[in-house]
Structure 1
Amino acid sequence: MEVPKSPSKYKRIAKHKWLIKFALLILMMLLLFLGFYLESDTRGKLNASSYYTVVVDCGSTGTRVNVYEWMVGVKGISKGNLPSLLHSYPDNTTRSSSLWKNSCQYHCMQTEPGLHSFVNDSLGVRKALEPLIVWAEHLVPREMHRKTPVFVLATAGLRRLPGLEAEWVLGEVEAVVKDHNFMFSKSWIRVLSGREEAYYGWVALNYKMGSFYSYLDSPTLGLVDLGGSSLQVVVETDGAGDDVHMMRSKLSSMEHQIMAFSLPAFGLNEAFDRTVLMLRNNQSEERTELRHPCLVSTFLQNYTCHSCSGLASIYQKNRSQHQEGELHSLRLTGEPDWEQCKELAIAAAMNLSDSKLSQTVSKNCQASSFSGIEYMCEVKRIIISARQMLDEVTTYHWLK
């Protein structure tokens, strides 16, 4: 015989069913709201189209191209008032290109030598620049070509040319750029001053490291940029300084006061040329073969000393045309001697007795306690203090 269920039990079951239905309704509403939010957010990202910028860097060693894809004003992507960098090319996906240069030690699409080598050589300028722009055209969607600006910015290589020669090269560059569909202005094809080069490097470094975002209470990074012909040093400061090197910059919502220095002739390649000239001047015999203490014993190569003519006027005033020719074409062999190499490197970095810049820095190191000048002086100290570290590294590799 079946026992009838109590009325209270029926009430409890009915109450539980009502709670379950209510919970399911809330869950459905949450899912619908979440779906709507995600769809609208995705639609917003898709509707916010990216844009591109092409930058051609005309350095003393070679001419390089970079393509940047940006996006502005998308929630969750852009930070502050700064655009967000979505992609930067070249990258690992572009290694198959014939323009990829492993010698750069980083992602690099480059033609060599630098544009300063093509004065009065229109074909040379075109051969150096054309393949780089064509490569950029393949990366930027065709429909975006006329909306994509191209900047051709030259540094120390063209800075050291006489004004008329540099202008001639830039004119040939403009002729090449005009043959393509990228957006350009004549003012976007120019030679950067040393301070501008230093400043742009500082901006790039601190943008990459996130130092410009106002919600991050962190100091900006200083920059020491070793190029082929020149050395750039930049540091933010809150002190007073000379107007020549002081710059004010406002990025996003923050203002920065920086000191920017550019040291001509302190670049890696020009410093090496200086060591070649020093060794050549110390040779007792007139020979075209030169033994270098900083090169390994297996090194044997014909070497063109690009800056030796100008340097010869500093280090040795009276040279014949025959001797000048010998400086340009030498056969370098390695004869490793670490002690001699250290002395040679320090002499090349420090002993620019006829350099106004070297004299200025040395004077300021003795007379000023200003933080920006101290930073410059620290560069000189680093060159000397690095000897111990180089000793340890080199000893380790030679003993392996």
Structure 2
Amino acid sequence: MSAQREMKEKNPWHTPATIIITVIFVIAIVALVTVAVLQNKPLPPKYKYGIVLDAGSSHTALYIYEWPAEKDNNTGRVEQTHSCKVKGPGISSYASSPLKAGESLKVCLQEAEQWVPNKRHQETPLYLGATAGMRLLNMENSLASDQVFQAVAATLQKSPFSFQGARILSGQEEGAYGWVTVNYLDDRLTQGLETTGALDLGGASTQISFVSSSYDGSESPSNSVSFRLYGNNYNLYTHSFLCYGKDQVLRLALAHLSQSGQSTVEDPCFHPNFTESKNYSVLYDSPCVSDRKPHGAPVAFTHKGTGNFSLCQQVLKNVFNFSHCPYSQCSFNGVFQPDLQGTFGAFSAYYFVMNFLNLTDTAIPLETVKEKLATYCSTPWPQITQQHKDVKLKYLAEYCFSGTYILTLLTEGYNFNSDSYSNIRFIKKIKGSDAGWTLGYMLNLTNMIPAEAPDTPPLPYAGYVSIVTIIALVLVIIFALCLYRFWPRCPKQPQII
């Protein structure tokens, strides 16, 4: 017993000092890991919000965006959280009753109040951008345009949000912001990848925007927009064709067919057996066609469909001017366009029309697309209405025309061929956000895209915690080995005979 007591007293692990030092060391290591984890633990995210109203020619839509508040400067990813389609036509349609333009927005604004937290209302920027419909109204009647904006602004100023103004976007802005949206959502800007071109089709205008290595902006500088985003320079070609949205082109095509002022107009862009009475004054009530109204025409005419895709294409080619090009190469109407390059995202009416026709699959060859569209256009109108009872007749009647126009615009206007057509993706949303100019517009106005790439931590959170934990464990092991190696060992227990 005395030998065991003597051995215990000589064992350094049983001395109070050693025990205290060991406990303190272990506590210090645990504290180190705990502090590292807690200090760097991601906090529950707080968000900021932005609202953009897209006042298009045919309708208005409200979009709500959010991004992490703690990453407000340059690093927070902006995402769409909600959208609301305003009932009724576009605000340009309220030229004769401007107050109704403002009233039409109230329901969607009230909806936005429910989606944005109350404590964020006053700091949430609210923008309204008007596009080709208001451009045309401003050209035709600037006083009416001003009155519509006054009515809209009065309604938006009464909302709890921070109203930042309502204005008409230029065609160049609309095209450029659409390009920013598509590439931002696809993470091509942050990663410095090859960008995607943007094809936008609305009711009154259409835009094409892309980066081409053959275009430096020196030829036709008015079509050049330069960006420096996330440390990369982009020289963007962009052009907007006013009056070449699908609704205005329909007027242009009918104006071409009704030049003689006849009482019956046969139209190959509408299904066989389709008939509708149209008013000449209503048809020509647009700056795009007002100067073409035939003299001595009757009050109305019968619009009669014949359903022929090839003849429809011939009619639509007449709305383009391919005879004059003052540059090395052009798209149409004497507008310069560089060589097409890369992939393209086609959105807005491009998507909705081609989706209805089941022609959004990029694997379908161009010739097959034409064949399917030709078959669809030749289908009698009564059969079409039976197959699509849930679609409004106004929209249903125009899909043959709209599909043919899209193919004509892409192939004859923008020079896509059988090979490059497969580079077009028809898209509605990208990662949950609608493709369109609104997100790019808000990103620009809120400075959410930096010119230079933001600094990022060298390690992600999980990697950082793992490394700290591993180092702490290594230190414990080394400490234990040192104690075992250098402290005097216990003498062997004497044998008892």
Same fold (TM > 0.5): yes
Give me the whole-angstrom Cα distance separating, in 1, the residues matched to 2:187 and 2:137.
Answer: 36
> Which amino acid is 1:263 matched to?
F
- Larger RCO (CA under 8 A, 6+ residues apart): 2
- Cα distance change of structure 1 residues 138 and 244 upon mapping to structure 2, 3 Å threshold: same
Residue 345 of structure 1, aligned match among 307, 316, 320:
316
Give me the whole-angstrom Cα distance separating, in 1, the residues matched to 2:267 and 2:35.
Answer: 69
Give me the whole-angstrom Cα distance separating, in 2, the residues matched to 1:311 and 1:263.
Answer: 11
> Which amino acid is 1:130 matched to?
K
- Cα distance change of structure 1 residues 245 and 145 upon mapping to structure 2, 3 Å threshold: same
RMSD after superposition: 3.7
- Cα distance change of structure 1 residues 279 and 34 upon mapping to structure 2, 3 Å threshold: farther
Residue matched to 1:5: none
Structure of larger gyration radius: 2
Give the conservation status (yes or no) of the 8 Å contact 1:51–1:70: yes
Residue matched to 1:246: 224
- Cα distance change of structure 1 residues 138 and 210 upon mapping to structure 2, 3 Å threshold: same
Give me the whole-angstrom Cα distance separating, in 1, the residues matched to 2:257 and 2:341.
Answer: 27
Q: CA deviation at 1:295?
A: 2.3
Residue 134 of structure 2, aligned match among 147, 152, 158:
158
Give me the whole-angstrom Cα distance separating, in 2, the residues matched to 1:35 and 1:89.
Answer: 39
Residue matched to 2:119: 143
Give the conservation status (yes or no) of the 8 Å contact 1:71–1:86: no
- Cα distance change of structure 1 residues 396 and 295 upon mapping to structure 2, 3 Å threshold: closer
Percent identity (aligned): 22
Q: CA deviation at 1:393?
A: 2.2
Residue matched to 2:239: 261
> Which amino acid is 1:136 matched to?
A
- Cα distance change of structure 1 residues 126 and 86 upon mapping to structure 2, 3 Å threshold: closer
Q: CA deviation at 1:259?
A: 2.2
Q: CA deviation at 1:367?
A: 8.3
Give the conservation status (yes or no) of the 8 Å contact 1:60–1:116: yes
Give the conservation status (yes or no) of the 8 Å contact 2:206–2:245: yes
> Are 1:85 and 2:78 an aligned pair?
yes
Q: What SS is found at the alignment partner of 1:69?
A: strand
Give the conservation status (yes or no) of the 8 Å contact 1:292–1:335: yes
Residue matched to 1:374: 338
> Which amino acid is 2:313 matched to?
K
Question: Across the two proteins, how many residue pairs are aligned to each other?
Answer: 321
Gaps of 5+ in 1: 1-21, 91-107, 354-358, 379-385
Gaps of 5+ in 2: 1-21, 343-364, 380-386, 388-497
- Cα distance change of structure 1 residues 286 and 54 upon mapping to structure 2, 3 Å threshold: same
Q: What SS is found at the alignment partner of 2:259?
A: helix
Residue matched to 1:9: none
Q: CA deviation at 1:243?
A: 3.1
> Which amino acid is 1:168 matched to?
Q
> Are 1:126 and 2:102 an aligned pair?
yes
- Cα distance change of structure 1 residues 118 and 367 upon mapping to structure 2, 3 Å threshold: closer
- Cα distance change of structure 1 residues 234 and 170 upon mapping to structure 2, 3 Å threshold: same
Q: Structure 1 length as normaliser, TM-score?
A: 0.68
Alignment deviations for residues 24-58 of structure 1 (CA, whole Å, 9 cap, x no partner)? x99xx789948962784232xx1x41111111001
> Which amino acid is 1:363 matched to?
P
Give the conservation status (yes or no) of the 8 Å contact 2:330–2:337: no
1:258-337 counterparts in 2 under 5 A?
258-281=236-259, 285-287=262-264, 290-297=265-272, 299=274, 308-309=284-285, 310-316=287-293, 318-320=294-296, 323=298, 326=300, 332-337=303-308
> Which amino acid is 1:61 matched to?
S
Give the conservation status (yes or no) of the 8 Å contact 1:365–1:377: no
Q: What SS is found at the alignment partner of 2:237?
A: strand
Give me the whole-angstrom Cα distance separating, in 2, the residues matched to 1:271 and 1:136.
Answer: 34
Structure whose residues are more often helix by fraction: 1
Residue 176 of structure 2, aligned match among 199, 205, 209:
199
- Cα distance change of structure 1 residues 49 and 387 upon mapping to structure 2, 3 Å threshold: closer
> Are 1:68 and 2:69 an aligned pair?
no
Q: CA deviation at 1:154?
A: 0.2
Q: CA deviation at 1:387?
A: 7.7
